[in-house]
Structure 1
């Protein structure tokens, strides 16, 4: 693939992989992670969907400190997302994107803490932020871009 990659080239690669036959009877999915461009999600018979990188755009470029481990974090988030979304590949890609967002905003591992609210409920925080809040923000961003309220309907 020529450098630098473009969304058009990534989409061509997705189509090529799908044409080769992915999954049982060609029913699998292809996800190509593309750094700052986000991730392209493709399945036969469905429109391709781009999931923006969480820290996308020039206003957030200062948030990206070290991309070491982002791919591993993305794959871990994807695996967890597949379990949590009953194997909804597009929705799971949102989990993957959020997971990677915590890895790239500092050198080394994200910082994990527990916060307790007034009712005594504990919430996990990574780098001082909630993964659930980021997931909901990313879902809202995609919904706004596509004119729908639910990312899994994309």
Structure 2
């Protein structure tokens, strides 16, 4: 996983050298987050290659094996917010030792002035929303 993310970051960094190439947001967020969250991966990489946006993190790597598409939800002078959805994610329910399938909606907001990252994840159909804060490095 770490090797793959290093390769993604390296390729994206090489692309930044020429005008019009990819911009990479390498974000690290606090795993604890709100509500003792373990649902948001601590390392998220978003690559924006002239509007073609992809995201990879530990959960995506373990379930899909490669970056997935993301979208820009909001972009202005202060922030940019990316969203993506993971479908058919299997989870174990410890109380009944059964499995459930979930659809997880993620959001990552990057504050341009401070480099602050705010990540959230909502399992569709449940009341929970998990949050974590951290920092992004733009490459």
TM-score interval w.r.t. the shorter chain?
0.3 to 0.5
Which structure has more RCO (C-alpha within 8 Å, separation ≥ 6)? 2
Q: TM-score, normalised by structure 2?
A: 0.36
Structure with bigger helix share is 1
Rg larger in structure: 1
Q: TM-score, normalised by structure 1?
A: 0.34
Structure with bigger strand share is 2
